[in-house]
Amino acid sequence: MNAKLLHIPADIIETIVENAFEWLVVVDRKGMIIYINHNYCEFLEVNREETIGRHVTEVIENTRMHIVAKTGKEELADLQFIKGNYMIANRVPIIKNGEVIAAFGTVFFRDTQEWMKMDSHVKSLLTRMQPYIQKIDSGVKYTLDDILGESQQIISLKEKVKMVSNSDISILIRGESGTGKELFAHSIHQLSSRSQKPFIKVNCGAIPENLLESELFGYEEGAFTGAKKGGKKGKFQLANGGTLFLDEIGDMPLSMQVKLLRALQDGEIEPIGSTKSISVDVRIIAATNRPLENMIEEKRFREDLFYRINVVPFSVPTLRERAEDLTLLIAHFIDKVTNRLGKRIAGIDRNVMEILKSYSWPGNIRELENVIEAAVHLTKGEQITLDSLPDYLQTQTAIYRFNNKKLKDIVEETEKWVLMQSLERNSDDKVLVGKELGVSRSTLYEKLNKYSLL
């Protein structure tokens, strides 16, 4: 093999060396440059002929090549700051007859962002192998492959996930209820460097105000009546080293917003009943379907907290805005439900598909999945028909719903349906429902009471 290598023409060897590495430099045992490839010279803005014979420290900023050539100790995947950016470099000694005669250095990633993008890409590929390898239980249920869609909005968002996952910056995911915000939160954690650490979710709207502080920060033994013996760790401590997902953060009371902001700014929490602070290292991902800017104006959400969590904003589109994904999602949910039930569904009636496509889907993907599941259960044959759909969905087409009905009944039925959709869109926030529909508080409550929607 060595004999064959000796017969490779010098120009071929030079071409290989020039292109095998992005940047390559070779120094002798004294640290003098004996070779540097063209790409590296272009980046450094130096003339190659003039660098040969110069000490490496005179040419490359913050280099350690001369140290490796002297000590004979290799340095792999080391960060090196060059021209305002961190590079990822390898430095390897060249040894002959047990003696260091030179050293070569390579840069595989020209900046840390390049590395993080590659790392996220590799992790994304590995998620497809999860059924075949041992799954690490970090609290993550979903990966990027669980986010279905071929629309440009979804493709762009998934690329954005890969770009920001490996950083520690805070992320705010916004979108209507049922759009899949939690799937994006799980995917970001799963592709991050914190993926081996816990992913802890807190639903800020589901926990009573008087319990939220102890849930987030924990408490010491004897902190209050009914406190557990030995105390209890809060979600911040449980998520230490990993990710804390603050779902429905727009529902967090103002009093807790102040304490949360302090914890994020200081990187410390103070359990209830404790006299000392505890350092925590968590990455924050928050999600909301609330109009936070309006809530800031109404003094219902702190502006300083908003800017703290909204470093990288994500806006998840509604199902209405990605209508081209509807057919794909319907097919996916039919397969999912039928595989679980062992039921055969061969297709969907054309009129049913028209209704599904014309419907506005205020509950988004969550509502679509529920509708398909109900339809599969209610289908008697092998095709989903109009009778399989929930009654409220059939109101989307008057030909099926309003035949032989009085105008008064049609108006009331439509009014009730509009109220139900607005309540779902605004997560039962009556103030927002009133504003959306343009009715007074007293009128709204009168109608909600009429249709038993309170």
Spell out, as residue ranges, where the chain has pLDDT lower than 50: 1-3, 5, 111-112, 114-115, 118-119, 121-122, 129, 131-136, 398-401
Which H or E element spans position 77? strand 75-82
The pLDDT score that the predictor gives to residue 100 is: 92
The pLDDT score that the predictor gives to residue 423 is: 86
Please check whether residue 336 is in contact with residue 345, taking contact to mean a CB–CB distance below 8 angstroms: no
Please check whether residue 97 is in contact with residue 140, taking contact to mean a CB–CB distance below 8 angstroms: no
Q: State if pTM tops 0.75.
A: no
The pLDDT score that the predictor gives to residue 20 is: 61
What residue ranges define each of the domains in the chain, with the CATH number in brackets?
A: 2-110 (3.30.450.20), 116-131+138-224+231-315 (3.40.50.300), 320-401 (1.10.8.60), 407-454 (1.10.10)
Helix (H, G, I), strand (E, B) or coil at 142: coil
* C-alpha closest to that of 280 among 351, 197, 355: 197
Please check whether residue 144 is in contact with residue 187, taking contact to mean a CB–CB distance below 8 angstroms: yes
Residue ranges of E strands in 197-311: 199-203, 243-247, 268-269, 278-279, 283-288
Please check whether residue 136 is in contact with residue 276, taking contact to mean a CB–CB distance below 8 angstroms: no
Give dist(CA 407, CA 411) in Å, integer.
6
The encoded tokens of residue 25 equal 């430099």
Secondary structure letter of residue 55 according to DSSP: B
The pLDDT score that the predictor gives to residue 111 is: 47
Phi then psi for residue 315, to 5 deg, are -120, 110
The pLDDT score that the predictor gives to residue 226 is: 72
Which H or E element spans position 106? strand 99-109
First to last CA, the chain: 83
Please check whether residue 30 is in contact with residue 13, taking contact to mean a CB–CB distance below 8 angstroms: no
Give dist(CA 204, CA 161) in Å, integer.
23
What is the rounded (10 degree) CA torsion for 63, 68, 71, 72?
A: 180
Sign (positive/negative) of CA torsion 371, 376, 382, 385? negative
Secondary structure letter of residue 348 according to DSSP: E
